[in-house]
């Protein structure tokens, strides 16, 4: 696309709306006694979500793009001053940002916190490739034993996580408080002089509703497993698997938002399992265990039909009155499927709706607008609409007027 | 009061999610933010957007309830001067455009 004919009005519109809202809301925040920083966090979260959704093209303004470029240049220069290997670490996550787009724009923020000391917060955070909502918060504290420097990560919720770097070079995260839950893949081992790419991707998922007590979440070198309720798609986290020849711990926890109860039960199990494992184990058995971990968990998928349906209970109850006990046993073995098969032909004719399945999955293309006039002649409909926002095939469009025809 | 219609858009949903994530924001404050968003988006759409779209397709369902039209169309082509977008299915939700009066949804 050498030249775009018309500039897309959507990013500018969204930007202006965001600015308006944030500015109007600033007073409200102050009245409520909420810090300005929270307002900035809100804005950042909002913008990041918009970027992640890919619904808007070229969402970032040119100014911010220039800012990022400048910040990246500064990062590269200053890190070359400190250590060579670390500069490679910074470069690699940035290179990987292009295809992935999930490791996002935290670099400018990270780099703002850089200091001259060895493994600074920036290098740590760069290697951690923080996603949305986490900003490194560096605080030099007298060490505890063999820990050289404590680096703290401050998440969107204001929780402070301590990133501890042990003597063997592995990094792991101490979560002193309960409310933050992390999904993480860790590639450890920065071998000096080696051309390794220890890129660590985190998916930080703030917890909604609170899991029950999970104090002192895990810290083992090279293993960090935490459950998250809000699922960022695991495809994001799985980008690491492509790198061969390096120790990888891939531990996935797949959960759906609605399965909070299951998650609460699953979490302590997961915590115990990695704790039972030894220290430096080869990657393969751990991956197997990771897979095993996902299996015993109760299925977290949203189940809409099938054996778990409530309606089947009613059918089974009715049938038990009518049929012999033998057939009841058969139903129990088959999970009630026989019962449903016999009932379905009777009731299935009543149902016309085909759409329920379609509506549940994928982007439904939606247009939200106002109508000026809706007209019908026989089965010919004419629509006169205005001020609309459309989401079609995953992309956002806007219009001030829309005219349409359809036949019913 | 402006229509709350636009909350279920990319922009609106991302705002709601962000408000949910930040615990320092009380539900009351979040509501105020959303109300402000409603005003801002309504104004912006009315004043800052100036383009026209045509579409045609087949009407699958229509509903008119509480002065809100909801349509489901199939095999629709959305045509703008610049480009063309085709979808198999689209849902259109439209509130009354005459002098946005009510608080709507």
Is residue A4 in a domain?
yes
Last residue of a domain, one of A39, A59, A79: A59
Q: State which of A89-93, A310-314, B20-24 shows the largest mean pLDDT.
A: B20-24
Closest CA to A90 of A67, A66, A114: A114
Q: In A, which residues are within 8 Å of B58 by CB distance?
A: 406-408
- Identify the pLDDT of residue B53: 93
* pTM metric for this prediction: 0.46
Is residue A64 in a domain?
no
From CA B12, how far away is CA A11, in angstroms rounded? 14
Crossing angle of helices A337-347/A310-322, nearest 10°?
100
- Identify the pLDDT of residue A310: 56
From CA A115, how far away is CA A123, in angstroms rounded? 9
Q: What is the pLDDT of residues A340-391, one digit of tens each?
A: 555 556 776 676 655 555 444 567 899 999 999 999 999 999 999 999 999 9
| A11 confidence band (pLDDT: 50, 70, 90) | confident
- Those of residues 302-331 in A touching chain B at CB distance below 8 A are none
| A395 confidence band (pLDDT: 50, 70, 90) | confident
Residue A368 to residue B8, Cβ atoms within 8 A: yes
β partners of residue A175: A217
**Parallel/antiparallel/unpaired status of strands A134-138 and A365-377:** unpaired
- Chain B contact present for A377, CB below 8 A: no
- Chain B contact present for A209, CB below 8 A: no
- Identify the pLDDT of residue B23: 84
Measured between CA atoms, the residue of chain A closest to residue B73 is A406
Q: In B, which residues are within 8 Å of A15 by CB distance?
A: none
- Contacts for B26 with CB less than 8 Å, ≥ 6 apart: A32
When CB atoms are compared, the residue of A53, A396, A406 closest to B57 is A406
Residue B14 to residue A46, Cβ atoms within 8 A: yes
| A104 confidence band (pLDDT: 50, 70, 90) | very low
Query: What's the token pair of residue B67?
Result: 């002065």
Q: What is the dihedral of CA A32, A35, A38, A43, to 10 degrees?
A: 80
- Identify the pLDDT of residue B68: 94
- How far, in Å, are A150, A363, B22, B33 from residue A270 at the CA level? 26, 33, 27, 38
- Identify the pLDDT of residue A53: 79
Query: Using an 8 Å Cβ cutoff, are A187 and A194 in contact?
Result: no
Q: Which of A35-39, A262-266, A302-306, B85-89 has the lowest mean pLDDT?
A: A262-266
Q: Which of B2, B5, B14, B57 to mutate to test the interface with A (most CBs of A within 10 A)?
A: B14
Residue A111 DSSP class = H
Residue B85 to residue A392, Cβ atoms within 8 A: yes
Is residue A16 in a domain?
yes
Higher pLDDT, A162 or A366: A366
| B73 confidence band (pLDDT: 50, 70, 90) | very high
Residue B40 to residue A24, Cβ atoms within 8 A: yes
At residue A215, what are phi and psi to the nearest 5 degrees?
-80, 155
Q: What is the pLDDT averaged over residues B33-46?
A: 90
Is residue A389 in a domain?
yes
- Identify the pLDDT of residue A113: 42
Q: How far is CA A267 from its chain centroid? A: 18
Closest CA to A13 of B3, B85, B18, B43: B43
- Identify the pLDDT of residue A389: 92
Q: What is the pLDDT of residues A163-205, one digit of tens each?
A: 444 445 444 544 444 444 444 444 444 444 444 444 444 444 4
Query: Using an 8 Å Cβ cutoff, are B3 and B38 in contact?
Result: yes
Query: Using an 8 Å Cβ cutoff, are A144 and A163 in contact?
Result: no
Q: Which of A13, A14, A17 to mutate to test the interface with B (most CBs of B within 10 A)?
A: A17
- Chain B contact present for A358, CB below 8 A: yes
Report the alpha-carbon angle A307-A310-A315, nearest 5.
80
Residue A14 to residue B11, Cβ atoms within 8 A: yes
Q: State which of A100-104, A141-145, B23-27 shows the largest mean pLDDT.
A: B23-27
Q: In B, which residues are within 8 Å of A131 by CB distance?
A: none
Closest CA to B87 of A118, A63, A395, A337: A395
- Those of residues 20-39 in A touching chain B at CB distance below 8 A are 20-21, 24-25, 28-29, 32, 34-35, 38
With a cut of 90, say whether residue A227 has pLDDT above it: no
Question: What are the helix (H) ranges across A167-245?
Answer: 234-237
Query: Using an 8 Å Cβ cutoff, are A211 and A263 in contact?
Result: yes
When CB atoms are compared, the residue of A45, A157, A367 closest to B90 is A367
Q: What is the pLDDT averaged over residues A115-141?
A: 44
- Chain B contact present for A136, CB below 8 A: no
- DSSP assignment of B28-83, as one string? HHHHHHHHHHHHHHHHHHHHH---EEEEEEEEEEEEEETTEEEEEEEEEEEE-SS-
Is residue A17 in a domain?
yes
Is residue A93 in a domain?
no
The proportion of chain A whose per-residue pLDDT surpasses 70, expressed as a percent, equals: 25
Residue A369 to residue B94, Cβ atoms within 8 A: yes
Burial of A273 (0-12, 13-18, 19+ CB in 10 A): middle
Query: Using an 8 Å Cβ cutoff, are A197 and A89 in contact?
Result: yes
Interface predicted TM-score (ipTM) of this complex, two decimals: 0.91
Provide the number of structural domains found in chain A. Answer: 2
Average pLDDT, chain A: 57
How many cross-chain Cβ pairs, A to B, lie less than 8 Å apart?
A: 215
Query: Using an 8 Å Cβ cutoff, are A192 and A85 in contact?
Result: yes
| Residue ranges making up the domain that contains A10 | 1-59
| A62 confidence band (pLDDT: 50, 70, 90) | very low
Higher pLDDT, A143 or A82: A82
Query: Using an 8 Å Cβ cutoff, are A90 and A129 in contact?
Result: no
Closest approach of A292 to chain B, Cα-based (Å) = 31
Q: What is the pLDDT of residues A202-221, one digit of tens each?
A: 444 444 444 444 444 444 44
Measured between CA atoms, the residue of chain B closest to residue A132 is B18
β partners of residue A134: A155
Is residue A76 in a domain?
no
CATH of the domain at A390: 2.30.18.10
Last residue of a domain, one of A12, A44, A59: A59
CATH of the domain at A28: 1.10.287.100
Is residue A9 in a domain?
yes
């Amino acid at each position: 696309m050498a030249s775009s004919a018309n500039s897309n009005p959507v990013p500018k519109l969204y930007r202006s709306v965001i600015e308006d809202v944030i500015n109007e809301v600033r007073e409200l925040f102050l009245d409520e006694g909420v810090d300005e920083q929270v307002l900035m966090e809100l804005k950042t979260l909002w913008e990041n979500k918009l970027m992640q959704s890919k619904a808007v093209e070229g969402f970032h303004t040119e100014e911010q793009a220039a800012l990022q470029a400048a910040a990246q240049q500064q990062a590269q220069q200053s890190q070359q001053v400190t250590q060579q290997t670390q500069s490679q670490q910074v470069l690699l996550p940035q290179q990987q940002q292009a295809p992935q787009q999930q490791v996002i724009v935290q670099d400018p923020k990270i780099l703002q916190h850089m200091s001259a000391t060895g493994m600074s917060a920036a290098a740590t955070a760069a290697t951690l490739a923080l996603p949305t909502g986490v900003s490194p918060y560096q605080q030099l504290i007298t060490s505890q034993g063999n820990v050289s420097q404590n680096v703290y990560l401050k998440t969107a919720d204001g929780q402070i996580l301590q990133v501890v770097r042990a003597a063997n070079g592995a990094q792991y995260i101490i979560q002193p408080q309960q409310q933050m839950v992390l999904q993480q893949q860790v590639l450890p081992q920065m071998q000096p002089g080696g051309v390794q790419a220890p890129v660590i991707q985190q998916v930080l998922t703030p917890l909604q509703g609170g899991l029950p007590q999970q104090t002192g979440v895990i810290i083992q070198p090279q293993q960090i497993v935490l459950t998250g309720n809000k699922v960022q798609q695991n495809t994001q986290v799985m980008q690491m698997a492509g790198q061969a020849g390096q120790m990888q711990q891939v531990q996935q926890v797949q959960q759906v938002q609605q399965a909070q109860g299951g998650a609460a039960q699953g979490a302590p199990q997961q915590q115990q399992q990695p704790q039972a494992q030894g220290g430096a184990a080869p990657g393969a058995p751990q991956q197997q265990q990771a897979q095993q971990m996902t299996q015993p968990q109760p299925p977290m998928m949203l189940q809409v039909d099938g054996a778990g349906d409530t309606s089947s209970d009613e059918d089974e109850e009715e049938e038990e009155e009518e049929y012999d006990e033998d057939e009841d046993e058969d139903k129990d073995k088959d999970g009630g499927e026989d019962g449903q098969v016999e009932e379905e032909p009777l009731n299935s004719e009543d149902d016309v709706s085909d759409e329920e399945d379609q509506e549940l999955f994928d982007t439904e293309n939606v247009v939200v607008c106002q109508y000026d006039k809706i007209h019908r002649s026989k089965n010919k409909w004419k629509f006169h609409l205005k001020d609309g926002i459309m989401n079609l095939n995953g992309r956002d469009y806007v219009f001030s007027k829309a005219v349409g025809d359809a036949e019913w | 009061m402006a229509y709350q219609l636009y909350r279920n858009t990319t922009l609106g949903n991302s705002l709601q999610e962000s408000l949910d994530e930040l615990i320092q924001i009380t539900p009351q404050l979040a509501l105020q933010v959303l109300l402000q968003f409603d005003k801002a988006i309504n104004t912006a759409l009315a004043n800052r957007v100036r383009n026209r779209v045509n579409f045609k397709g087949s009407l699958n369902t229509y509903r008119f309830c509480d002065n809100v039209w909801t349509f489901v169309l199939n095999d629709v082509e959305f045509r703008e001067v610049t480009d063309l977008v085709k979808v198999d299915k689209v849902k259109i939700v439209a509130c009354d455009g005459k002098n946005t009066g009510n608080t709507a949804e």
